[in-house]
């Protein structure tokens, strides 16, 4: 459904009705049966040293065998474990004061690196994690060398089971699963991605706190991969890499709502991509606070997927520069379709609304389509952009990574526009902080031959 133009939407436009119904569905959903089993009944000791894997798995299997219910991790225990598998109808209840600790050894994880999680569910229904406690990936054990710019991490690639420098276990994964609820838990110190959805449908993530080492790469907050009907609310994410990251690798991402979240990251707070082989449709991000992040709202479309019908509303952003080894150059908003490699397909981005957004940033907004990968029908309404330098990092770089053109020298502008068809700005204010106007004398950088259908209404810029 195309919802603008001509009619300007509110977040309650009919397009969102299925999603609001989804909320009611979650409110009513009853997860699991009545059985409650404690892992200690199956011999878990919770001393943080002996592996409780067998006891935990036995409790989960017994619970599933009894028709589903809850598997309780009593308060006070540190339950060290290798990978455990959730079963249909089972909800883990990690009590406040209890911790599940992920193993630090490769032999704690299955042979297939795509199944390297501390807690994983695959092909199941009505599963969840809750209870007020913590799941901890012991990420500090995976730091080879601390570096305030970017830590050097362990990579379990020597065995050849995976390649490159990202062979580390994730924390919690749901694969090919339906009706997933993660609520009221802390996910702490993941070694790699933290909470990962793969081809899931109907997922509800509420009141989850995610903490990761600010200097460690790839410790993403929530990765929503190839999944539909996902609702994320009241989450607190403070981590090194991308905080909320929809990706499309084997299928599209449809219907994602994220509301009422607080985010700090050394990478992008919200990022579509960079894995973007399929489409992203109907995404809503509302009432989000983004603090001291490297990027605010980002789309890195690199592999031919098409993005459409996305709303960002009521969002406060502050961005700053960090070491350039991290993707990001302090852009509050960064929208790109540059293909990854010369051989990659080109995706498009259309019908995106930014409404009621205020940002304080060290760099400008970057809106960059590509030949054959236009950005079309963008609307900015009620936006305050304040530009203020806070760090000494160089400011004159455009960042097209990953792949594409890499980093390109360019004069900093309040807003850079490339390859766009249809951009409407209404009540957009740009303010430059008086202390550092030098090198910023360019409110708008437009490459005319590639930008079409611009409209400005109540657009203002000033030095303050």
The radius of gyration of the chain from alpha carbons, rounded to an integer in Å, stands at 22
Instruction: Name which of 323 and 458 has its Cβ closer to ligand NAG.
Output: 458
Task: In angstroms, give the least distance from the CB of 66 to ligand NAG.
Answer: 27
Residue whose CB is less far from ligand NAG, 61 or 95: 95
The answer to whether 244 and 261 have CB atoms below 8 angstroms apart is: yes
- Please pick, from the candidates 33, 110, 252, 403, the single residue that binds ligand NAG as defined by CB under 6 A: 252
Say which residues have a Cβ less than 8 Å from residue 291's Cβ, sequence separation at least 6: 262, 263, 264, 318
- Minimum distance, C-beta of residue 155 to ligand NAG, in the bound complex (Å): 3
Helix/strand/coil for 55: helix
16 vs 23: CA distance, rounded Å: 11
By CB under 6 A, tell whether 201 contacts ligand NAG.
yes
Whether the link from the prior residue into 352 is cis, omega within 30° of 0, is: no
Question: What does the per-residue mask of binding to ligand NAG show for 254-283, with x meaning CB under 6 A?
Answer: x-----xxx---------------xx----
Beta carbon of residue 313, minimum distance to ligand NAG (angstroms, whole number): 7
Decide whether 43 or 147 has the Cβ nearer to ligand NAG. 147
Q: Least CB distance from residue 65 to ligand NAG, whole Å?
A: 27
Beta strands 407-409 and 397-399, pairing class: antiparallel
Q: Which is nearer to ligand NAG, 210 or 451 (CB)?
A: 210
**Contact residue for ligand NAG among 148, 164, 343, 448 (CB under 6 A):** 164
Query: Does 69 sit near ligand NAG (CB under 6 A)?
Result: no
Does residue 249 touch ligand NAG according to CB under 6 A? no
Between 18 and 406, name the residue whose CB sits nearer to ligand NAG: 18
Contact flag: residue 304 with ligand NAG (CB under 6 A): yes
**Stretch near ligand NAG under the rule CB under 6 A, chosen from 56-64, 159-167, 417-425, 442-450:** 159-167
Pick the binder of ligand NAG from 97, 251, 324, 443 (CB under 6 A): 251
Rounded to the nearest 5°, which phi and psi values hold at 421? -130, 105
The answer to the question of residue 287 lying near ligand NAG (CB under 6 A) is yes
Residue 172 to residue 47: CA distance in whole angstroms = 21
Tokens of 39: 């892992």
Residue-wise over 421-448: b if at least 16 C-beta within 10 A, else e? bbbbbbebbbbbeeeeeeebeebbbbee
Shortest Cβ 48–ligand NAG spacing (Å):
11
Q: Using CB atoms, what's the residue nearest to ligand NAG?
A: 165
Contact 254, 229 (CB under 8 A): yes
344 near ligand NAG (CB under 6 A): no
Concatenated DSSP letters of 409-454: E----SEEEESEEEEEEEEEEEEE-GGG-TT---SEEE-GGGEEEE
Scored b (16 or more CB within 10 A) or e, 77-95 reads bbbbbbbbbbbbbbbbbbb
Residue 244, class by beta-carbon neighbours within 10 Å (0-12 exposed, 13-18 middle, 19+ buried)?
buried
List the interface residues with ligand NAG, window 30-59 (CB under 6 A).
none
φ, ψ at 35 (rounded to 5°):
-65, 135
Does 150 help bind ligand NAG (rule: CB under 6 A)? no
Q: Does 233 bind ligand NAG (CB under 6 A)?
A: no
CB of 340 to ligand NAG, least distance (A): 14
Residue 23 φ then ψ, to 5°: -60, -45
**Out of 115, 150, 316, 388, the residue judged to bind ligand NAG by CB under 6 A:** 316
Of residues 157 and 461, the one with the C-beta less far from ligand NAG: 157
The DSSP code sequence of 294-355 is SEEEEEEE-SS-EEEEEEEEEEEEEE----TTSS--S-SEEEE---SSTTS---EEEEEEEE
Q: Is the dihedral of CA 240, 245, 248, 250 positive or negative?
A: positive
Does the protein bind ligand NAG through residue 137 (CB under 6 A)?
no
| 188 lines the binding site for ligand NAG (CB under 6 A) | yes
Interface residue with ligand NAG, options 185, 256, 257, 417 (CB under 6 A): 185
User: In the complex with ligand NAG, which residue's Cβ is closer, 226 or 351?
Assistant: 226
Buried b (16+ CB within 10 A) or exposed e, 35-54: bebbbbebebbbeeeebbbe
Binding site for ligand NAG (CB under 6 A): 132, 134, 136, 155, 157, 163-165, 184-186, 188-189, 199, 201, 207, 209, 211, 226-228, 251-252, 254, 260-262, 278-279, 287, 289, 304-306, 314, 316, 348, 356-358, 382, 384, 429
């Amino acid at each position: 459904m195309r919802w603008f133009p001509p009619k300007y939407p509110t977040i309650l436009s009919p397009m969102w009705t299925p999603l609001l119904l989804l909320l009611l569905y979650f409110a009513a959903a009853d997860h699991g049966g009545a059985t409650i089993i404690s892992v200690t009944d199956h011999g878990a000791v919770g001393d943080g040293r002996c592996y409780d894997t067998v006891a935990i798995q036995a409790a989960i299997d017994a619970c599933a065998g009894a028709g589903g219910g809850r598997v309780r991790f009593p308060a006070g225990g540190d339950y060290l474990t290798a990978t455990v598998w959730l079963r249909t109808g089972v909800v883990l209840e990690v009590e406040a004061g209890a911790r599940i600790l992920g193993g630090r050894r490769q032999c704690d994880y299955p042979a297939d690196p795509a199944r390297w999680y501390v807690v994983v569910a695959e092909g199941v229904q009505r599963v969840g994690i809750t209870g007020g406690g913590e799941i901890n990936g012991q990420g500090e054990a995976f730091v080879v060398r601390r570096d305030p710019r970017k830590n050097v991490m362990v990579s379990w690639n020597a065995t050849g089971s995976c390649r490159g420098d990202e062979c580390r276990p994730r924390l919690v994964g749901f694969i090919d699963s339906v009706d997933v609820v993660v609520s009221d838990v802390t996910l702490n110190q993941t070694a790699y991605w933290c909470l990962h959805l793969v081809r899931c449908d109907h997922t509800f993530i509420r009141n989850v706190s995610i903490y990761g080492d600010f200097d460690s790469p790839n410790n993403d907050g929530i990765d929503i991969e190839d999944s539909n009907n996902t609702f994320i609310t009241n989450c607190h994410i403070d981590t090194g890499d991308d905080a909320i990251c929809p990706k499309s690798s084997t299928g599209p991402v449809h219907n994602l709502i994220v509301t009422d979240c607080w985010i700090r990251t050394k990478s992008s707070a919200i990022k579509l991509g960079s894995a973007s082989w399929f489409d992203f449709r109907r995404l809503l991000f509302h009432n989000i606070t983004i603090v001291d992040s490297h990027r605010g709202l980002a789309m890195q479309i690199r592999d031919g997927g098409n993005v459409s019908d996305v709303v960002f509303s009521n969002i406060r952003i502050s961005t700053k520069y960090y070491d350039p080894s991290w993707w990001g150059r302090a852009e509050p908003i960064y929208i790109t379709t540059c293909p990854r490699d010369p051989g990659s397909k080109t995706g498009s981005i259309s019908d995106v609304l930014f409404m009621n957004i205020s940002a304080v940033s060290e760099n400008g907004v970057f809106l960059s389509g590509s030949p054959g990968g236009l950005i079309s029908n963008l609307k900015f309404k009620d936006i305050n952009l304040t530009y203020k330098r806070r760090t000494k990092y160089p400011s004159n770089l455009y960042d097209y990574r990953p792949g594409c053109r890499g980093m390109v020298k360019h004069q900093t502008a309040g807003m850079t526009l490339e390859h766009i068809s249809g951009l409407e700005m209404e009540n957009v204010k740009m303010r430059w902080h008086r202390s550092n106007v030098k090198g910023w004398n360019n409110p708008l950088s437009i490459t005319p031959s590639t930008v079409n259908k611009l409209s400005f209404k109540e657009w203002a810029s000033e030095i303050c």
